Structure 1
């Protein structure tokens, strides 16, 4: 990709294709725009502009950070703007799975939940894994912490 490519000027179709692919990938992992920024990607404001094909300047550094935050290999964005698909990294989490550094978190949270409800630790863990599969890792963790805090306030 040419350094500092302005997709809105010469490839408006490319900017729209990129917007759709980024939004789809982000949602498939259950990531918010803030989550992408926390993973080293563009800021929430830039993510909004990318997903709405309104960003003024798409520089190479920003695009590489975006690829990394979405678990794409370098060169994926070039593929997308040419009408192709992103190239997924092998180390990416599968849809509904926790990222590697968070794999034990549901079990740890289940231990806290069992004190407030008549659930066994095993059934609480199964329930949390099912919810995590539906919501995605980051949304699940936000919800679990809010529930845990709310249940703690009731005791």
Structure 2
């Protein structure tokens, strides 16, 4: 893995991972941190739209297409899924990288739970070091935070990542 400060947000679909990640980014940026994120999807993704010039370049067979505008750019590459280490290695320096998804990777993570009925991930993953849920989880000794207690979760992440 990388020497960067990284921390993950994991959980089942519709548990609130994206909302928590978004709110943590806002909190850390408010604190003056430079934050990057990685979002893992379990399906094919396409950030391009049919009919655009860059889409047409890819459709014609380009293995890599850079889409460059005045304030941002994206490089789309036709390739097998890279490892999380490869993705981390391509990011610019940041104070913190928040990783949404990647349930099976070994970086420190907080598990987001939407309901007590959801099967917990923490018992099978020693990298899960806290739980975010709107109810007190039963069984287990991990720190628990309400999903909307963003400042406390950010403080915890800051301490755990050094």
TM-score band, normalised by the shorter chain?
Answer: under 0.3
Larger strand share, 1 or 2: 2
TM-score, normalization by structure 2: 0.22
Larger helix share, 1 or 2: 1
Higher Rg = 1
